[in-house]
Chains A and B, each alone.
Chain A
Amino acid sequence: MTTVLSEIKQNGPDQWYPVPPGSYDEMLNGDGQIRPHWEYAIRALRTLGMPELERRGTEAAKLLRENGVTYNVYGDPAGQSRPWQLDPVPLLVSSEEWGGVESGLQERAELLNLILADIYGPRELVRKGLLPLELLYNHGGFLRACDQIALSGKHQLVVYAADLARGPDERMWVLSDRTQAPSGAGYALENRVAMTRVLPSLFRDSHVHRLALFFQSLRSGLNAIAPATVENPRVVVLTPGPLNETFFEHAYLASYLGYPLVQGDDLTVRDGYLWLKSLNGLERVDVILRRVDDDFCDPLELREDSRLGVPGLVEVARRGNVAIANPLGSSVLENPGLLAFLPGIAEHFLGRPLRLPTAATWWCGQPKELDYVLANLDKLVIKPTDRGPGLSPVFGHLLSRQELADWRDRIRLRPAFYVGQEQEGFSTVPSLVSGGLEPRHAVLRSFLVARADGYVVMPGGLTRSAPHKDDMLVSNQAGSISKDTWVLASEPEKPIELVTRPTPEQVAASLSGALPSRAADNLFWVGRYAERAESTIRLLRSAIKKLYGDPDHSANEYTESLHCLLRAVTQLTGTLPGFLAEDAQALLREPEAELLSVALDETRIGSLANTLRCLVQTGYAVRDLWSSDTWRVMEDLEEHLLGTKRYVQPNLWQVQDLMDQLITSLAAFSGMAMENMTRGNGWLFLDIGRRLERGTSLLSLLRTTLPQQRTEAVETLLIEALLDTSDNLICYRQHYRNNMELSAFLELLLLDENNPRSLAYQTARLQEHVSKLPRDKTIGRLSLEQRLALEASSALRLAGMEELTAVAESGTRQNLDQLLARLNYLLVALSNAVTAAYFRHESAPQPLAPLRAT
């Protein structure tokens, strides 16, 4: 370490860290010296060496990816989600400075809270002329339907985030306020988890303030706003769904905090209360942590075209029967025009100016201010006061003369809809860029939550830095890089257990308690798709093995058994017409292309790639229910799937390789589900899905191969292949040697209840499972699901081997055929019955045709 220190002294940081002159840097002071609170960390990082730091960065990226930390980018054709990017060099903030920032943020949150309460209450600010009516009433976030609706406690603004940056005057400035449904806290937590894993000793020795307390405060803050009569409030996280840009975070927070993750159609309004449609029926919901934009929350009173909301929600809030954090209408505070009036409002409410400065802002709705903005447009940032697509800030200094003139016209036309804002230069932070440290502009998002006794600030937050030098615009959509933020304590802080991922108890809680019906539906399909993928792989492998397995292709028996398997591939995957086409002779002779397509063509329904895509997507929709280990397996599957896109000229050897890897991942997935999931309703549906699928797959295989009697040689070959397909070859040989005989085969694969791959095993499990499903216990008779499962299971138990193997005059094994057909019917009916009884496939709501005044 001394050597590095002396190197720093000899060479000076300017040798390895080029700070642009005139800009404030977080690490270096004006004389090019390292600021005291950075000394320790930067020395340690330099001792580690840049190559090693890069390696750690890669490791962190891997961790984040494996945990499924993603950010969805709208309109990204390459795919839905993009891995979250983390720079391993944290932003350091000294305790002394943080103290000031913290109290400044608390003060600002209190002020915004007062403003929010006033806007939807007495509107004294408007009457006193402290807030122009036009500014407030023209804003789309001012929801008139929510007028006079208030949470019962002291705070209306429950969660709050502010984007901070250091201005040229070395003070921390507030760039913007996030009051609607601030995102990022979950990402900050994931970043922290990754950092403590890849730089454990540096983290430990730096005495960094911990984040866990903040999330405890969030929990108690949400409990505190619940309607007064409720003792143990039920809190849910309301998400727009897996396509939302921050869905990962919604799932992560829900699972971390132990709340059900729900979408609008998981909820329903009844008798003036809000209910969760769970498997156990309707369960009261008292508090919503909202991640759906407020105007989308109720198609009755807000946006009529919204598919993400709950009709009647506003009325429930109006009656005080549900508390929503943040309340509907809170986005009104995100109006940048408000900044121009904050000083006056602060003076009015607090009797003093705000401690944290905000960029000077001029609202063009006033004549003098308009003139100023028009005259100085080339130096200002133009921001629309309202929100909406395509309404993003415009930097005056980047505009051409013509563009400036156009903007002046636009502003003159509707001046009340624009502000001009002073453009601040932010400070730079050291960032790891291609093997060295380089300064990048950065913005820190900090998070607050209201508790009864005031606002609690997360010590740290989410720092995002611009990807390019001199770039000032920092946003996730534009591709920024995130950093952990370390607030350094002067002495070591007592470590608090930071629960970094859902504990088994939390998973159990979310699985047994109120499992939303939609989540059960998804789990059922995860079970089905996982099993479908597995059986597709097994059959494809057998077929390919057979195709390349024997040099003596001329043998008729061999060819017939191969063709039989190929037809089974089409039948099982449902990729018709395929090998079942009437004129499939050529295809059967040269099956490679068709097999490749069945394996890899993602656009073909039923193909392996398509099934895997469905599996990953369905699994993602219930992301909150998976442990991180289980999710890692899902990520592996996704990787493999992406890997296939890189094949230049795919061939069946590659496919075989791929399938070997996939089968391991799928086995790991089912193992996780078996060993790590508590046997709650969630698991039941997952396993019902799996058993049903395994049963129907097996039936499909048997029905295409066995009823038709063939020559003994062909049947021997087929039985061998089917045993191989079902992973039962070894087991069979142990019992029956190499003697491939139909009755022994049927015994093992159809009737043996101890063989986890047999049909009897599936029906026995299904019978057990459906009897455990939640149902009205007062009804004395068996449910439809129970009756179907019972019949299937009994049919197999009562089947006699002699009848099954008997061949009718027509050359078919009629009894076997009939039994298989009946079983198939029963399993399909069972699947439909479970779907009808437990999954709500309601039609989407529609608005009534309006009455017109004529």
Chain B
Amino acid sequence: MHYRVIHKTEYDYSEPVGLSYNEARLLPRFIANQFCHATGLVIEPLPADYREHEDFFGNRVAYFSLREPHQRFVVTSTSEVQVVSQAGQLNLSQGTDWESVRLLLRQQRDPLTLEALQYALDSPFVSANAELAAYAQLSFPPGRPLLEAVHNLMERIHTDFTYDPDFTTLATPLSTVLAHRRGVCQDFAHLAIGCLRSQGLAARYVSGYIETLPPPGKEKLVGSDASHAWFSVYVPELGWMDFDPTNNQIPVDQHIIVGWGRDYGDVNPLKGVIFGGGEHELKVSVDVRNLGS
């Protein structure tokens, strides 16, 4: 499927900002089943300095700084992306059981496994703990194939948790989300990652977009007005498999990946340190246009 994504972020400041240093992770990274035809950022005011590099996780980062005094700061990223649907039907009940995968992760030293192992460790936003393990346990009986267990976990999160954009903020700890069973896609992704890590498995956070306009006759998907987030789990024989707990689905060709990391903190779409500015207001809009296949 072919998409054009326009992601516009706008900050309005009550006082002028004289200097601003920023890091954007808005340019889709290069991956096998997603081809990025064109991508670019438009920044207002014009940055005094701009440079791109690849970060530790392989994501594309744009560093820039603004020196012109301003009260409005707009970053618009536009990307044309072709998503190749992942071939074939997955057979969830086949494949290695989750306990063997846990063991394998710690025994094999090949580059892929080592690369995956880092996502089994705690990260600033997601630490394994007893509560998460207890919630996950129901999905992870001994001997269950990994994919089936993860799929079940995704379904349970979707069923047990209420989508509620007003309940959580970025600072809401995972324990609160778990206790009140509410949150947004970011919280659900973190929750699933925490559950998987508490089972000794490797899971990472995926940041991206989901198709805005549903195909005729279908419901609009949640998470389409802003950037979206889901999670990915490491399956030794298949590699990384994505799951979207917010929409209870395994992404096929409606999800566009921007980047991934251990948690939200590693793929924050737009970071900044500003001098001045006073209070600020933030507006975000995302438009994902389907250009056909």
Is B30 an interface residue, CB under 8 A from the partner? no
A851 & B282 in contact (Cβ 8 Å cutoff): yes
CA A315 to CA B186, docked complex, whole Å:
28
A144 & B21 in contact (Cβ 8 Å cutoff): no
Is A853 an interface residue, CB under 8 A from the partner? yes
Is B284 an interface residue, CB under 8 A from the partner? yes
CA A271 to CA B49, docked complex, whole Å:
5
Check A126/B114 contact, CB under 8 A, given A846-B277, A851-B270.
yes
Among B53, B207, B282, which residue has its beta carbon within 8 angstroms of that of A849? B282
A851 & B269 in contact (Cβ 8 Å cutoff): yes
CA A281 to CA B200, docked complex, whole Å:
55
Is A97 an interface residue, CB under 8 A from the partner? no
Binary CB contact string for chain B from 190 to 210 against chain A (1 if under 8 A, 0 otherwise) = 000000000000000001000
Residues of A within 8 A of B280 (CB): 848-849
Residues of B within 8 A of A315 (CB): 51, 63
Residues of A within 8 A of B282 (CB): 849, 851
CA A147 to CA B9, docked complex, whole Å:
28
B273 & A270 in contact (Cβ 8 Å cutoff): no
- The minimal Cβ–Cβ distance linking A301 to chain B, given in whole angstroms, is 7
Give the nearest-CB partner of A413 in chain B.
Answer: B130
CA A842 to CA B277, docked complex, whole Å:
12
Residues of B within 8 A of A168 (CB): none
Q: Which B residues from 277 to 291 make CB contacts under 8 A with A?
A: 277, 280, 282, 284
| Number of residues of chain A lying within 8 A (CB) of chain B | 36
Is A312 an interface residue, CB under 8 A from the partner? yes
Q: Can you list 22 residue pairs at the A/B interface with Cβ under 8 Å?
A: A126-B114, A133-B117, A144-B56, A147-B55, A268-B19, A270-B65, A271-B48, A272-B49, A300-B23, A304-B271, A312-B63, A318-B53, A842-B275, A845-B275, A847-B274, A850-B271, A851-B9, A851-B269, A853-B226, A853-B227, A853-B264, A854-B185
A854 & B122 in contact (Cβ 8 Å cutoff): no
Binary CB contact string for chain A from 425 to 465 against chain B (1 if under 8 A, 0 otherwise) = 00000000000000000000000000000000000000000
Give the nearest-CB partner of A268 in chain B.
Answer: B19
Q: Which B residues from 135 to 185 make CB contacts under 8 A with A?
A: 165, 169-170, 184-185
Is A269 an interface residue, CB under 8 A from the partner? yes
B118 & A137 in contact (Cβ 8 Å cutoff): yes
Binary CB contact string for chain A from 834 to 854 against chain B (1 if under 8 A, 0 otherwise) = 000000001101111111111
Is B39 an interface residue, CB under 8 A from the partner? no
Check A133/B118 contact, CB under 8 A, given A270-B49, A843-B275, A850-B170.
yes
Check A133/B114 contact, CB under 8 A, given A145-B56, A847-B272, A849-B282.
yes
Among A133, A319, A851, A853, which residue has its beta carbon within 8 angstroms of that of B223? A853
Most A CB contacts (10 A, CB to CB) among B65, B109, B207, B276 go to B65
Is B68 an interface residue, CB under 8 A from the partner? no
Check A270/B225 contact, CB under 8 A, given A848-B273, A851-B270.
no
CA A315 to CA B63, docked complex, whole Å:
8
CA A852 to CA B280, docked complex, whole Å:
15
Binary CB contact string for chain A from 296 to 313 against chain B (1 if under 8 A, 0 otherwise) = 000111001000000110
Binary CB contact string for chain B from 20 to 39 against chain A (1 if under 8 A, 0 otherwise) = 11110000000000000000
Is A138 an interface residue, CB under 8 A from the partner? yes
A270 & B21 in contact (Cβ 8 Å cutoff): no
Is A371 an interface residue, CB under 8 A from the partner? no
Is A727 an interface residue, CB under 8 A from the partner? no
Is B240 an interface residue, CB under 8 A from the partner? no
| Number of residues of chain B lying within 8 A (CB) of chain A | 54
Check A147/B56 contact, CB under 8 A, given A272-B49, A299-B273, A853-B227.
yes
CA A581 to CA B276, docked complex, whole Å:
41
Give the nearest-CB partner of B168 in chain A.
Answer: A852
A853 & B67 in contact (Cβ 8 Å cutoff): no
Q: Which A residues from 261 to 283 make CB contacts under 8 A with B?
A: 268-272
- The minimal Cβ–Cβ distance linking B176 to chain A, given in whole angstroms, is 15
Binary CB contact string for chain A from 93 to 127 against chain B (1 if under 8 A, 0 otherwise) = 00000000000000000000000000000000011
Is A134 an interface residue, CB under 8 A from the partner? yes
A137 & B121 in contact (Cβ 8 Å cutoff): yes
Residues of A within 8 A of B223 (CB): 853-854
Residues of B within 8 A of A319 (CB): 51
B273 & A851 in contact (Cβ 8 Å cutoff): no
Give the nearest-CB partner of B284 in chain A.
Answer: A851
Among all A-B residue pairs, the 8 with the closest Cβ atoms: A848-B272, A853-B229, A144-B56, A311-B273, A311-B21, A854-B184, A853-B186, A147-B56
CA A301 to CA B169, docked complex, whole Å:
21
Q: Which A residues from 779 to 838 make CB contacts under 8 A with B?
A: none
A300 & B21 in contact (Cβ 8 Å cutoff): yes
A854 & B273 in contact (Cβ 8 Å cutoff): no
Q: Which B residues from 219 to 244 make CB contacts under 8 A with A?
A: 223, 225-229
CA A312 to CA B189, docked complex, whole Å:
30
A129 & B109 in contact (Cβ 8 Å cutoff): yes
Is B268 an interface residue, CB under 8 A from the partner? yes
Give the nearest-CB partner of B246 in chain A.
Answer: A854
Check A852/B118 contact, CB under 8 A, given A145-B56, A312-B65, A842-B275.
no
CA A133 to CA B186, docked complex, whole Å:
27
B109 & A127 in contact (Cβ 8 Å cutoff): yes
A853 & B228 in contact (Cβ 8 Å cutoff): yes
CA A295 to CA B9, docked complex, whole Å:
28
CA A159 to CA B103, docked complex, whole Å:
41
Give the nearest-CB partner of B227 in chain A.
Answer: A853
Residues of A within 8 A of B9 (CB): 851
CA A852 to CA B267, docked complex, whole Å:
11
Residues of B within 8 A of A843 (CB): 275-276
CA A299 to CA B19, docked complex, whole Å:
14
Residues of A within 8 A of B23 (CB): 300-301
- The minimal Cβ–Cβ distance linking A327 to chain B, given in whole angstroms, is 16
CA A137 to CA B261, docked complex, whole Å:
13
Among A138, A145, A147, A846, which residue has its beta carbon within 8 angstroms of that of B273? A846
Taking A270-B48, A846-B273, A850-B271 as known contacts, 7 extra A-B pairs with beta carbons closer than 8 A to each other, sorted by chain A number, are A147-B55, A312-B21, A848-B20, A848-B273, A852-B169, A852-B186, A854-B226
